[in-house]
Amino acid sequence: MTQTSNSLVFPFHRYKFLYVLLFLFFIFSCKTSQKSSEKVSSKGLADKDVVQFKYLFFNANKEWILENYDMAETLFSQALKIDPNSAATMYGLAHIYSFQNNKSQALLYSKQAAAIDPKNIWYQLLYISCLKENKMFNEMAAVYERLIKDNPQNFDFYYELANVYLFINKPAEAIKVYNKVEESIGVTDEASMQKLKIYKTSNNFEKAVDEAKKLIKAFPKDAKYYGILGELYQDKGQNEKAFETFSELIKIDSTNAYVHLSLADYYRTLKQNDKAFNEIKIAFQSKDLNIDTKVKILLSYYDITENYPELKTDADELCKIIVAVHAEEAKSFAIYGDFLFRDKKYDLARTQYRKAISLDKEKYALWNQLLVIESELNDFTSMQKESKEAIELFPNQPLPYFFNGVSNYQLKKYDDVVSVLTEGKEFVFDNNLLLAQFYANIGDAQNQLKKNEESDAAYEKSLELDPSNPSVLNNYAYYLSLRNKNLEKAEELSKKSNMLAPNNSFYQDTYGWILYQMKKYDDAKVWIGKALEGGGKNNGTLLEHYGDVLYQLGDIDSALKYWIDAKKSGENSTLLDKKIADKKLYE
């Protein structure tokens, strides 16, 4: 039975099977014991009343078992009218009212049953339960004290009483109860650890130390008590005593990983960081230190190394230890992968995540991180393959569909893009930004398939969900301009994209090209010129566009120069050679 200082735990619960057992015992005793009948009759009941009482009581219990609670309540009440002093009947009514959450009535009848038969443990425990529901904690303590007096060898009652005292902030009373347990059965982990916790909370250092020493004396081979004592000394700044205690522990159990963690804390307080790290390494090399503790330590390193990058080497060494010691645990490789990903070592991070997945392919988070890494590496072939595997394992997760669609687009498998994203968008819930990305990519793929109406519809749906996505605004506007269709709308979309993301050379070129299509050549020259100055001087498409604008403005020599530069870049249209050869614009 576990005791806690901030919650009340009771051995008694309203489990029906306990009540049924008590009921059967009562009926059996009524049928087999003449003394029961004599006892009832001695209360002044006529024989016919005894028969009627038993009939009502029996049927009340039967209805309770059948969960006909209203009928059971009626029958118990009728039985109680015949015998107003029947503790068993009151107990039955208290049970029903407790089950129905009628706290006041449950308390009333349980109190009466407990008073009539104070030696009956079950009546007392139901009364305690009802007191708890009514938040009458002092009264609970009094009932437990009576139970202890009548049942001095039932130590569950001692612990529950101490628990109540802790709950009502009477730690001194709780300690007295724990001391009584110790007087009866000797030093126990449960009682002493609770006392130690109380002493620590109340800053009673000396008493806490005494309790820890008492545990060490009682259990000299148990390493954890040395660790507790050492930490008490450490918290008090008594480092020499802490070191002595840890040294004693090493003599008892040199392989204990937790003592090495305690020593690491000890050395860290002395700012002996090399020794502290060495102790952590020793602890990490032990399989006795569970992997979750090691992961927590590594997560602290993850945060610390953001501000102290010089500790990254230490973190890397611990990561290598954890994957070596826990080679069968997926989370060891995943945490190492996280460090590598953070440091942009994507190839190495991918290797760790693939190992993690090979050990536990049912963890969706591992697949998701692997696909993110593939996107950073631009390895669309691997992304396509692995996202397909993830879809098969997690068919209701939308992101694998999205990654699969992106990879298929890069691999120019446009039909597959439309198919997988159309299927995957059905699994996007309460995330309009992600759903908008699905539609945007469908729009891109449909454009490549020359399905212009479907492409426009997808872009419209994307912008309905996320009207401020500059990339979607730009792409939709650009494809409209290439088809020389609805240029006023294209101009509006492109203008908005440039307002949302100024100084983007691609967006500036799109806006300039739309102005060109609208024959606003002077404005087109300004915007495509901005795009060139903003980083597009080596972009063949921009150079060719600028040459086209200059040609329309009558500057044919300058236009030819830009066309030639566009050809040198290697990125140009199919008509560029003809433009250069004939020194003439072809569209």
Q: What is the pLDDT of residues 2-36, one digit of tens each?
A: 333 333 433 333 344 444 444 444 443 443 333 33
Residue 516 belongs to a domain = yes
Is 352 domain-assigned?
no
Q: Is residue 168 part of a domain?
A: no
For residues 66 and 130, membership in a common domain is answered with yes
CA 163 to chain CA centroid, nearest Å: 30
> Looking at the structure, do residues 16 and 105 belong to the same domain, yes or no?
yes
Q: How far is CA 110 from CA 21, 87, 88, 97, 124, in A?
A: 18, 9, 10, 10, 8
Residues 12 and 99 in one domain: yes
Contact predicate 67/96, CB 8 Å: no
* Residue 571 falls inside a structural domain: yes
Instruction: Looking at the structure, tell me whether residues 116 and 29 fall in a common domain.
Output: yes
Domain boundary among 117, 135, 153: 135
pTM of the complete model beyond 0.85 = no
Which of 135, 150, 184 is a domain's end point? Answer: 135
Same domain flag for 438 and 507: no
Q: How far, in Å, CA of 244 to CA of 265, rounded?
A: 14
Residues 271, 308 contacting (CB under 8 angstroms): no
Shared domain check, 559 and 511:
no
Q: Do residues 373 and 447 share a domain?
A: yes
Looking at the fold, whether 392 and 483 belong to one and the same domain comes out as no
Nearest-angstrom CA–CA distance, 579 and 587: 9
Q: Are residues 2 and 43 in the same domain?
A: yes
Q: Within a domain: residue 252?
A: no
Nearest residue to 498 (alpha-carbon basis) of 530, 466, 465, 522: 530
- Residue 578 one-letter amino acid: K
Structural domain for 410, as ranges: 361-460
Instruction: Check whether residue 448 and residue 564 sit in a common domain.
Output: no
Q: Is residue 417 part of a domain?
A: yes
Q: How many domains does the chain have?
A: 4
Low-confidence ranges of the chain (pLDDT < 50): 1-42
> 147: Cβ–Cβ under 8 A, 6 or more apart, which residues?
121, 124, 154, 157
Q: Which of 135, 168, 189 is the last residue of a domain?
A: 135
Same structural domain, 456 and 501: no
pLDDT, residue 43, reads 55
CATH number at residue 428: 1.25.40.10
Q: Based on the domain organization, do 505 and 375 belong to the same domain?
A: no
Domain annotation covers residue 269: no
Tell me whether residue 112 is in a domain: yes
